């Protein structure tokens, strides 16, 4: 199946009470690991590149071709979107140009008027090419220079203004943060999410899919509550990174303990050496898909 835009399968998730995973990738094997999990669980999926990951992998064109080619060579039958995660304005335009099928313009660091103005331009240009668009209001917390900020609550009037521009799915802070959650994290503000969801339905006369960033490390019961209150796309990055690092570290310990035998068997070949790490990513993605409720919805 060719890569597709995401608005249809995310709206279906919103209307039917489950969420689609947006999984960040970092390289070839990572992308294969996510695709394997999505195909095994029969779920639509978004493969996401941050601006930094895309640069690391050789640019947006490379990432788009990578996902597109793997979908074909791996005989993937579930709907797959190649999505830009947290893109600046110029990056969003570049992704439209190279043929990403979905993108996030993140103007949340800008004054709201400017965020809305640029979002409107991105939405018009992307929609003209059938590309789905996510935008963000408020801001999502996270760690910067060692300082962990609590996730902010997105102003409801800003979310409504963004929805009225015709954005396909909307990222809004509800106390969620990127990276590992600190010990003293107070949890998602489901009360705020409930108000946000109700305001969006009232303003638009339909369900508006809400995006939950910082999806790693949120207890499953809070994930399910968020889905019940309008969340239809959940972003996951850190959990896959941690799964990869844990499995790789464990494998290195086994390698070191059996060095002579493993050297003889040429287990230093990266195709063998890194396999446990990438298998752990597939397992982690499959586990998230089950919790998000999107298995067998492709
Ligand atoms: P995590 O760091 O919690 O995995 O969040 C990823 C994310 O939201 C990417 O946009």
Tens of pLDDT, residues 249-284 = 999 999 999 999 999 999 999 999 999 999 999 999
- Ligand 1 centroid to 174 CA: how many Å? 14
Q: From 3.30.70.260, 2.60.40.1120, 3.20.20.70, 3.40.630.40, which CATH number describes the 4-290 domain?
A: 3.20.20.70
The string of pLDDT tens digits covering residues 1-52 is: 789 999 999 999 999 999 999 999 999 999 999 999 999 999 999 999 999 9
The string of pLDDT tens digits covering residues 75-89 is: 999 999 999 999 999
CA distance linking residue 251 with residue 243, whole number of Å: 12
Atom of ligand 1 nearest to the CA of 177: 3
Does residue 178 have a known ligand-binding role? yes
Enumerate the domain spans of the chain: 4-290
Q: 210 near 234, Cβ under 8 Å?
A: no
Q: 22 near 284, Cβ under 8 Å?
A: no
Residue 49 in contact with ligand 1 by CB distance below 6 A = no
Question: What's phi and psi for 143, nearest 5 deg?
Answer: -95, 130
The burial class, CB within 10 Å (0-12 / 13-18 / 19+), for 205 is: exposed
Q: 286 near 23, Cβ under 8 Å?
A: no
The string of pLDDT tens digits covering residues 230-250 is: 999 999 999 999 999 999 999
Please say if 85 is a catalytic residue.
Answer: yes
Q: How confident is the model at residue 141 (pLDDT cuts 50, 70, 90)?
A: confident
Q: Rounded to two decimals, what is the model's pTM?
A: 0.96
């Amino acid at each position: 199946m060719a890569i597709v835009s995401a608005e249809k399968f995310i709206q279906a998730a919103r209307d039917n009470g489950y969420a689609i995973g947006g999984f960040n990738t970092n390289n070839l094997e990572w992308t294969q690991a996510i695709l394997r999990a999505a195909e095994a669980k029969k779920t639509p999926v978004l493969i996401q590149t941050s601006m930094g990951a895309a640069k690391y992998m050789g640019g947006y064109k490379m990432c788009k071709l990578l996902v597109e080619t793997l979908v074909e060579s791996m005989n993937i039958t579930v709907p797959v979107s190649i999505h830009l995660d947290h893109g600046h304005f110029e990056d969003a335009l570049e992704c439209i140009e190279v043929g990403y099928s979905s993108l996030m313009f993140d103007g949340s660091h800008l004054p709201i008027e400017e965020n809305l103005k640029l979002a409107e331009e991105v939405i018009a240009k992307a929609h003209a090419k059938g590309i789905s668009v996510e935008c963000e209001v408020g801001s999502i917390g996270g760690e910067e220079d060692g300082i962990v900020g609590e996730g902010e609550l997105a102003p409801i009037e800003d979310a409504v203004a963004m929805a009225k521009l015709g954005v396909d799915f909307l990222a809004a802070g509800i106390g969620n943060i990127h990276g590992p959650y600190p010990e003293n994290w107070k949890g998602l503000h489901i009360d705020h999410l409930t108000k946000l969801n109700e305001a969006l339905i009232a303003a638009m006369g339909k369900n508006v899919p809400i995006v939950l960033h910082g999806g790693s490390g949120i207890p499953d019961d809070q994930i399910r509550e968020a889905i019940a209150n309008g969340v239809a796309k959940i972003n996951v990055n850190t959990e896959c990174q941690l799964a990869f690092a844990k499995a790789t570290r464990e494998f290195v310990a086994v390698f070191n303990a059996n060095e002579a035998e493993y050297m003889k068997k040429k287990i230093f070949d990266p195709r063998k050496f890194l396999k446990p790490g990438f298998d752990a990513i597939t397992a982690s993605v499959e586990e998230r898909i089950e919790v998000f409720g999107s298995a067998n919805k492709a």
